[in-house]
Amino acid sequence: MVPTDRRYTKDHEWVRVDGEIATVGITQYAAEQLGDVVFVELPDVGRALSQHATFGVVESVKAVSDLYAPIAGEVRATNGELGKAPELVNQDPYEAGWMIRVSVADPGEVDRLLDATAYEQLIAEA
């Protein structure tokens, strides 16, 4: 169910590394818990994020939820589509609903995140 090509946080973000760039989004479980996403606030390109820093906000009709950086890095791109179509976060959280791309400062941080099996176990227990 959970893609195995990436890592996860206990806060339900995912991160997929392609060379020096990591793409970040929220998991399907998180999107389902939030309900219909109607607004996503993302950082400016160029902003330096430390690990666990708040990098944005995702809002559903009912709830407001902070987004936390799974790893440290500089924001290289944000998903502009989410401004017009925040529902992509619900419809396709692992691909079209991605949120930011960051440069990977420390690959070791990625390795210490949850793998798909550990994350599946986490949501099974939730």
Partner 1 sequence: MSEGDAADLQQTALNAVHRHLGARLVPFAGWEMPVQYSGILDEHRAVRERAGLFDLSHMGELFVEGADAGAMLNAALVSDPASLKVGRAQYSMICGPDGGILDDLIVYRLAVDRFLVVANASNAAVVSDALAERIGSFKAVLDDRSLDTSLVAVQGPEAAAILARVTDVDLAALRYYAIAEGTVAGQPALVARTGYTGEDGFEAFVDWARGPDVWAALEEAGRERGLQPCGLGARDTLRLEAGMPLYGNELDRETTPFEAGLGRVVKLEKDGDFVGRDALARAAEAPRKRLVGLRVTGRGIARHGHPLWCDDRRTGIVTSGTQSPTLGYPIAMGYVAPGDAEPGTIVEVEIRDARVGAEVVPLPFYKRPR
| Stretch near partner 1 under the rule CB under 8 A, chosen from 6-14, 16-24, 34-42, 44-52 | 34-42
Site membership for partner 1, residue 5 (CB under 8 A): no
Residue window 60-99: x/- pattern of binding to partner 1, with contact defined by CB under 8 A: xxx-x-----------------------------------
Site membership for partner 1, residue 41 (CB under 8 A): yes
Site membership for partner 1, residue 45 (CB under 8 A): no
Secondary structure (H, E, C), the chain: CCCCCCEECCCCEEEEEECCEEEEEECHHHHHHHCCEEEEECCCCCCEECCCCEEEEEEECCCEEEEECCCCEEEEEECCHHHHCCCHHHHCCCCCCCCEEEECCCHHHHHCCECHHHHHHHHHHC
| Stretch near partner 1 under the rule CB under 8 A, chosen from 6-14, 31-39, 73-81, 101-109 | 31-39
Site membership for partner 1, residue 59 (CB under 8 A): yes
| Stretch near partner 1 under the rule CB under 8 A, chosen from 23-31, 32-40, 93-101, 110-118 | 32-40
Cα within 13 Å of Cα(41), Cβ side: 11
> What residues make contact with partner 1 under the rule CB under 8 A?
35-36, 38-39, 41, 57, 59-62, 64
